[in-house]
Structure 1
C-alpha cells in the first residue's frame, strides 16, 4: 500500500479481497452453484483479474457501459442485472454480437422491443420481485411472465430463468432476519421454477445479495449466486453480521483538517462526494455515515471506539472523537474511514 495521502483516496487490501473472493468461490463450489459475481462493487479491471485467478469466467454487471468495459477486458459471458433500457437497444445488439450476453426483463414491452431489434443471439432472465419491491415481476403474476415469454418466441432471445436480488436483507436487524428473508425468497423461486421447468427444463434460478450469500447454508432450488459487495464488504455488512471487521477489504483514506476538543468532534477532508450519504443507524439510534479508525504504516487498524462519521456535506466529514486515540488526533494526521457502502465509495473515487 502507498503512503503520502493528501486527498480522499479509496484503498483496497489485496490480500483480504483475494481471500473474500476465494471463500465465496469455494462456497459456491461446495453447494454446486454457478458463481457469477457482480462487478458493480469494484468496477475494476485489475480486481477482475483476481476473480479469474479463482477460475471465474462469467460475471454480472449493472449497466451496458460496465458490460462493454469488461468485455473489452476479455470477459465474454456477462449478465446485465438491470431491467433492459430500451433506449440502449442498438448498443446491446452490438455487444451481443461480440460476447455471450444475458439481459433482464420485467415488462413485456422490454421483451417486445428486444425481440424486434436484437438480431444477435442473447439470453434473458425474468426479474422476480420476491419482497424487495425495487423492480421485478411478482412470482404469482403469471400473466406478465407469459407475455414476456410469448414476445420472445421464435426470436434470437433465449429464456434463461428467473433472477432476483433480495436487497431487503440490507435492512435486516439480525442474522436470523436475513436468513428468514433468504428462505422465503428461495421458497418462492423454487415454486416458480417448478411451474415452468416442464416447458423450459434448463432454466436457472439466480440470486444475488451479499448478506444471504455470505451467511446462508440453504440454497435449495438455487442454481446461481451473484453477490458483489462481499469482495470488499463495508460497515453495513459488518453491522449486519455478514462479515468480520478483518474481512473488510476497502477503506477511504482521509486527512484530518481540524479538531474541536470542546465538542468532541473533528473534521476530515472526506464528504458526500467521496463516501455518498448512505447511512445506517448506530446502536444508540444515531445516523452514521462511516467509522473512523487508525491508519498506521499504510494499513487501517481495528476500531478504537465509536468514532463515527455523524455529518457529511459535499467535502466536509464530521466525526465524533469518542476514543482516546481519536482525541489525540491533530490537523494533518491521516485516518481511514470504513464506508457504510463500499460500492458507492468505490464508484465515487474510481480513477
Structure 2
C-alpha cells in the first residue's frame, strides 16, 4: 500500500470558492494501463464550479471530501503494467475522463494511458494547460457539426476556454466566424480571428442573422438561438441552463430527435487520438494557447472566484510546481496575468 502523501485541492461541503482548501491525500499508484503524472498545471473549468457548488449533486453525491480539477499537463512519473507508448519524463497533457471524475488539482494524478497525449515540443506546460479543453471545440465543430468551408458559424461565449478555441478552429475549417462575448472582450475575440465580434448584451439574437452552425457554451436560451439556424443548420451545445436543469435537458433531448435543425449535446471525453489532433493544430500554428491569469495551487479558490465573476479571456490556469522545479512555474504570491 502506498503511504506517500501529496497536496490536493479539496472541499468538505458544497458551497462557494471559500470551501476549497489544500489538504494532503495519498499519492496514487498507476494501475494496469494507467500512467502516473507529476502535475505541472491545470485549468479551471465551468463544470467543476457547478460540482463544487452542489448544482449537480445527483451526480457527485454526498461523500466528502471531494476534489476539483479536470485537465492537466505534466511529466510522466511512473507507468502501470501494460503501458509501452510512454516513458518516464515524457511531457504530457490530458483529461481525467468521465470514469475518473475530478481530481487533477493535485501534485500527482493517475489516469488511463489512453487519456494522455504528448505535449508539442517547445510549448510551455503552464500555457499548454489552457488547451486540453480545446478538444471539445474540435469534436463539436469537426465531428458533431461537420463544419464546412464557407459556412457561417456563431460561437456563444467566444472569449472562454472552449469558445476561444472554437473561434480559432472555425477559421481553420474555413467558416465565417461570429463571436458573442462581453463588450470588454471583443478586441480579444477579434484577435483570435473572428470575422465579427458582438457584445451579447447589446444585440437581440434575431438581429444577428442566420447561421449554418452554432456552438453554444452558455446553455441558456437554447430555443431562441436554435431559431437562428438556416435549413439544415446544426447546433452543438456543451452546456445547459443550471437554473432550469430539467427543462433545459428535456429540450435538448427532444430537439435531438425532432425537427430539421437538431441540437447536439455532449461532454468532452478526449482520447489520445483527439489529443494528438490537438497537438497537430498547435504545431501547425492553427491554434494558440490563451491564458488569462496564472494562479498558484494555494490560490485555486481565487481562480474559481475569478471564473465565477465572468470576463475571462481564454483560461485561468493553476501552476502546481514551485519556481525552482522548472517547467512552467508560476512566480511569486500574486497571480500572473497576460
Normalised to the residue count of structure 1, the TM-score between the two structures is 0.31
Q: Which has the higher helix share?
A: 1
State the structure with more CA Rg. Answer: 1
